[in-house]
Amino acid sequence: MRLRRIAAADEAVAHSQLVVHEPEKQKGHWQELFERGQAIELEIGMGKGRFIIDMARLHPEINYVGIERYPSVLYRALQKMEALEREGQMPLNLRFLCIDARELPDIFAPGEVECIYLNFSDPWPKARHANRRLTSEGFFARYDQILAEEGRIEFKTDNRELFNYSLETAAASPAFQIEEKTYDLHRDEKMSAGNVMTEYEEKFSSKGNPICKMLLRRRRDQR
């Protein structure tokens, strides 16, 4: 049964017009995919897609790309989009990529992305897996390759260890600086303004876990 479900997800992702296939061919030409030429923002590790779909509906003035490496998970976002399409509510400013985020510099040209959202990224608690964390030095170097001069990174998690590790790697990064941070987003009036919840955020905050958030920008001395 599970295998049949996975095959159905693979098939749906492979044939969906909302998923960008052979995305390397789009490098430097992402604007052409969308109805309007406007800023592009990514969510890396979007899971079932609640955040990026809500963001696309709230912000038609921005183009969004949701990235998820597992077709079985991305499929859930495609199902949400289908439901919205049936109601005539599907946002047209959203596309998906089924890739490992390590490939980002092959897919986006320098400066092509305005913002990267990292929401409840997998913590990879073992030290030997640290370079798989989406806030590791290697990933910050990849983000540096694709983000615009005024580009930013927004990271949310309820995992204190991952958050503190990410503050350290961000502080040591030659490309980015920490502009704002909070250990309790939902009680921080300024940082929670306009906050859009993710699936994991809903789940963990309803259990009483405080949500941490940091906002990073390019180092001023780099500009």
Active site residues: 122
Q: Which two tokens stand for residue 35?
A: 């109805």
Among 70, 177, 192, 210, binds ligand SAM (CB under 6 A): 70
- Shortest approach of ligand SAM to residue 37 CB, angstroms? 26
Among 67, 81, 116, 214, binds ligand SAM (CB under 6 A): 67
Task: Give 191's contacts (C-beta < 8 A, 6+ positions apart).
Answer: 180, 182, 185, 213, 215
Question: HSE (CB half, 13 Å, CA atoms) of 76?
Answer: 14
Residue-wise burial string across 62-96, b where 16 or more C-beta atoms lie within 10 A, e elsewhere: bbbbbbbeebbbbbbbbebbeeeeeeeebbebbbb
**Would you count residue 94 as binding ligand SAM (CB under 6 A)?**
no
Binding mask 154-183 for ligand SAM (x = CB under 6 A): ------------------------------
Among 6, 12, 73, 109, binds ligand SAM (CB under 6 A): 73
**Would you count residue 26 as binding ligand SAM (CB under 6 A)?**
no
- Shortest approach of ligand SAM to residue 198 CB, angstroms? 3
Cα(170)–Cα(176) distance, rounded to whole angstroms? 6
- Shortest approach of ligand SAM to residue 75 CB, angstroms? 11
Length of the chain in residues, anyone? 223
**Would you count residue 69 as binding ligand SAM (CB under 6 A)?**
yes
The answer to whether residues 141 and 172 touch, using CB atoms and an 8 Å cutoff, is: no
Phi first, then psi: give them for residue 116, nearest 5 degrees.
-120, 125
Among 30, 75, 96, 120, binds ligand SAM (CB under 6 A): 120
**Would you count residue 47 as binding ligand SAM (CB under 6 A)?**
yes
The answer to whether residues 90 and 81 touch, using CB atoms and an 8 Å cutoff, is: yes
For residue 196, give Cα distances in angstroms to 30, 110, 202: 25, 27, 10
Residues binding ligand SAM: what is the number (CB under 6 A)? 19
- Shortest approach of ligand SAM to residue 188 CB, angstroms? 18
- The residue range among 76-84, 146-154, 163-171, 192-200 that interacts with ligand SAM, by the rule CB under 6 A, is 192-200
Rule CB under 6 A: which residues touch ligand SAM?
Answer: 44-47, 67-70, 73, 100-101, 119-122, 198-201
